[in-house]
Chain A
Amino acid sequence: MFGWEFPPFKSGGLGTACYDLTKGLCNQGVDVTFVMPVAPDGANADFVKIIGANNFAKKVKLRQISSILTPYQSSTSYSEALGKVPGATNYKTTSKDAYGKNLYQEVYRYSLAAGEIAEEEEYDVIHVHDWMTYKAGINAKAVSGKPLVAHIHATEFDRTGGNPNQLISHMEYEGLKAADVVIANSNFTKENVIKHYDIDPGKIEVVHWGIDPDNPHYGIGHKSPFDNEKVVLFLGRITIQKGPDYFVEAADRVLKYLPDTKFVVAGSGDMFERMVNRADELGILHNFIFTGFLRGADVHRAFQMADLYVMPSVSEPFGLVALESMKNNTPVLISKQSGASEVINHALKVDFWDVDEMANKMINTLKYPELLSELSDNSYREAQKFNLDVPAEKTKVIYEKAIQIVK
């Protein structure tokens, strides 16, 4: 499996998905060789500890490729990361030990290293996660002849709100085309893949993800410090995909009816400044609290403190974060343009652009405690259904299907 660093490291949803999947597969009796990029300052010692601590050390073999690739990287953020590596600019570009001069070169270099690992290891199936690892998977398949399972957690169209980077979307396309089976995290994603890349629907399996029931953070029981003021939470990367603009506009409308509401924004991203400026422009900045990027237990504290979690995503392949909120006893208002909205029943749903309707639902939920409690009790119960065993089981079955296809 070509994956990403487990949480609490900066890999967000992809990292969490890899961790959950690896753990789930081990429970299913599947041996996993996990290949991941490791940055020079990467705390991979802790990473190994995580594996060890979870008792799947026996079933997980770790292979590392020195790289500064991280999920959600853009060309710009890659260049920034490269700039931070001491002496990086001294290396010749083609050396496989040196980081690529830009994001695409690094992906290419990574795939070469992956090809080498593929020659050394023994395995039945290759599983890759998102475009950056697709080339690695293609190489591994070429070297071994084993079936390739391409997992897609998000498309370039989701990430860019419809303005894809051509290079990236091409690599995405190559991977999906070369794969023997594609796993999409929702029907929403599956439809996007068919629409944008014309991939054979028969090749695409949908496996809805779940959340880890054993995470101790759910029980923290953090209380809001804001007395009687209601708290509405935005948690996620502050980037176009997540719809932060719509959050601010809806907040503006809500505040006209409920002027004491607090809007907490947890996250960081390229639209941060724009969000702050817009709130200021509307004269509502004093109702906003920006926490910056949160990780670990703090994420759960944020959910527990909030009365309502809003996910106004423009295009959300799944949206596990909604489930995490529900599990923390905080009801959710989610975009209909998300994978999560196809499987969650007890949630308020809205088209991401319909700011008036968003406000309509927010105000009513904050206003009527019976609605809030009915929603949160029911959604808490519903969240229990989304465990990790089912997705892992389904993945294993897909592996078996892929093996049959290649035979």
Chain B
Amino acid sequence: MVSICFYFQVHQPFRMRRYPIFDIGKKSDYFDDHKNIEVLKKVARKCYIPANNLMLDLLDQHPDFRISYSLSGVFMEQCEKWAPEVLESFKKLVATGRVEILSETYHHSLAYLFSKEEFKAQVELHRQKVKELFGVEPRVFRNTELVYNNEIAKFVEDMGFDGIISEGWDPVLGWRSANFVYRPKTTTRIKLLMKNYRLSDDIAFRFSNRGWAEWPLTTDKFCNWVNAYNGSGECINLFMDYETIGEHQWEDTGIFDFLRHLPGELLKHPDNSFKTPSELVDNCEAKDEIDCHHMISWADIERDLSAWLGNRIQQSSASRVYALEKDIKELDDPELLEDWRKLLTSDHLYYMCTKWFNDGDVHKYFNPYDSPYDSFINFMNVMNDLTIRIKEGQARKGVAGKAGSDSEVRGIEG
């Protein structure tokens, strides 16, 4: 029996506006609402609405069809502000009872790596938002960009989750297959669902690539591949960015048609079924233990953290911004806290990646900056303003504090 498990990631960051050094100490509006609205509406038009409608149709036609989503908190917040119809559409999906919502950090951040306390806080904020909007309690957790290792699994287990998601990366799997449910090493209860990256990426990346040996990917062909796993796997975990449907793979590639026929075709084989992550957790035994000591992610070829923390400017921005945590939290200023949290969204670090900058490829399409260096400069300018606000807050409270952990940052005064 093979169960296909779909999980779609849905996220939009609050992108920053161009914030030059001369605004430090004078203006504290950091985000480009105009741009963010524009992007949200565009993606809603090309992906969220049509894809959700497709899923609703499929759920209607096939009672056995199941899917799951993880919606970042900042995405949900933007929808509330600027695209409530998208939220309504997701609500309809969840109301079918066959669409699961996963847990993640509200601000789609790498907080786990820098502050366990902040990580927990963001997961809790997300839980509350999901409860408020959808009336459900997530049981399965996915960390930002599927950053994962044994320690994270244990930590998340202690927080009460029943399942956790990761990349099905070969060096971690060894001889094992990603098509089973596992137990992360050092845990006792939580179950691990690992992405079948080959099949997932066939849809998410290779689908429209005419240079690919298997192009065009038809529903038939894909079903044959899935069916071939019968007898040697329990689950096929197809995890991908939701924007695959309509944004990364445009409508004219045939992606909608492909997906429209997929459930029907797959269900023709009597041993196939669909399951949500929770159903997999409840119905499948942990086949074996998976030992993943080093951090992995689902990004790039390396599947590591280099896309966000691989170079000096990324490492420096991350450590500087997280260093502000204590002072900000002591001030009890919700606006300041929220501004700071929005800076923790992993996308800001991603924009500073120099890995592929030589070839100016994929990363550039999604990057609002001309260069990773411009992204760093912008980020640091905003951070400096944040630091000034912290000091002002401390002065008001009468607290003689040292904002930030290094005097260099204080050197910039408007």
Contact = CB atoms under 8 A, between A and B. Distances in A.
A-B complex is real: yes
Interface of A: 257, 345-349, 356-357, 359-361, 363-365, 367-368, 370-371, 373-375, 378, 382
Interface residues on B, range: 20 to 34
B143 interface: no
Given A257-B412, A345-B358, A364-B380, A371 B20 contact: no
Nearest to B24: A257
B411 A348 contact: no
Nearest to A373: B312
A348 B374 CA distance: 7
B358 A368 contact: no
Contacts of A374: 311-313, 354, 373
Interface of B: 20-22, 311-313, 315-316, 354, 357-358, 360, 370-371, 373-374, 376-377, 380-381, 408, 411-413
Contacts of B357: 345-346, 378
A386 B158 CA distance: 55
Given A345-B358, A346-B354, A360 B373 contact: no
A361 B380 CA distance: 11
B21 A359 contact: yes
A368 B21 contact: no
A367 B408 contact: yes
| Nearest 9 pairs of A and B residues by beta carbon | A370-B312, A370-B316, A364-B377, A360-B20, A360-B21, A374-B312, A374-B313, A370-B313, A345-B357
A393 B358 CA distance: 23
A382 B370 CA distance: 17
Contacts of A359: 21
A348 B412 contact: no
A345 B376 contact: no
30 contacts: A257-B21, A257-B412, A345-B357, A345-B358, A345-B371, A346-B371, A346-B373, A348-B371, A348-B373, A348-B374, A349-B370, A349-B371, A356-B20, A357-B20, A360-B20, A360-B21, A360-B22, A360-B381, A361-B377, A363-B412, A364-B21, A364-B376, A364-B380, A367-B408, A367-B411, A368-B376, A368-B380, A370-B316, A371-B376, A373-B312
A375 B375 CA distance: 13
B360 A360 contact: no
B313 A363 contact: no
Contacts of A371: 312-313, 373, 376-377
Given A371-B376, A374-B311, 11 more contacts: A257-B412, A346-B354, A348-B371, A349-B371, A356-B20, A357-B20, A360-B20, A360-B381, A361-B377, A367-B408, A374-B354
Contact of A360 (B312, B313, B316, B377): B377
B412 A375 contact: no
A342 to B, nearest CB: 11
A361 B18 CA distance: 12
A371 B381 CA distance: 13
Contacts of B374: 348, 361
B317 to A, nearest CB: 9
Contacts of A349: 370-371
A44 B249 CA distance: 64
Given A359-B21, A367-B408, A345 B360 contact: yes
A378 B20 CA distance: 24
B312 A382 contact: no
B353 to A, nearest CB: 11
Which of A345, A347, A359 has most chain B Cβ within 10 Å?
Answer: A345
Nearest to B414: A257
A248 B376 CA distance: 25
Contacts of B20: 356-357, 360
A359 B413 CA distance: 14
Contacts of A382: 358
A262 B20 CA distance: 22
Contacts of B380: 364, 367-368
A373 B373 CA distance: 11
Contacts of A356: 20, 22
A357 B377 CA distance: 11
A263 to B, nearest CB: 18
B316 A364 contact: no
B316 A368 contact: yes
Nearest to B411: A367
Contacts of A373: 312
Which of A345, A348, A361, A374 has most chain B Cβ within 10 Å?
Answer: A374
B406 to A, nearest CB: 11
A363 B381 CA distance: 10
A289 B360 CA distance: 38
B26 to A, nearest CB: 13
B312 to A, nearest CB: 4
A345 B412 CA distance: 28
Which of A347, A363, A371, A375 has most chain B Cβ within 10 Å?
Answer: A371
A357 B20 CA distance: 7
B344 to A, nearest CB: 19
Contacts of A375: 373
A218 to B, nearest CB: 21
Contacts of B315: 370
Contacts of B377: 360-361, 364-365, 371
A371 B412 CA distance: 16
Contacts of B21: 257, 359-360, 363-364
Contacts of B358: 345, 382
Contacts of A346: 354, 357, 371, 373
Nearest to B352: A374
A378 B21 CA distance: 24
Nearest to A346: B357
Contacts of B373: 346, 348, 371, 374-375
A364 B408 contact: no
Contacts of A370: 312-313, 315-316
Nearest to A254: B21
Contacts of A348: 371, 373-374
A249 to B, nearest CB: 14
A374 B68 CA distance: 40
A126 B316 CA distance: 55
Nearest to A253: B22
A36 B370 CA distance: 43
A365 B371 CA distance: 14
A316 B221 CA distance: 55
B210 to A, nearest CB: 28
Nearest to B312: A370
Given A364-B377, A370-B316, A378 B411 contact: no
Contacts of B411: 367
A305 to B, nearest CB: 22
B199 to A, nearest CB: 35
Which of B22, B380, B411 has most chain A Cβ within 10 Å?
Answer: B22
A354 to B, nearest CB: 10
A46 to B, nearest CB: 40
A368 to B, nearest CB: 6
A229 to B, nearest CB: 14
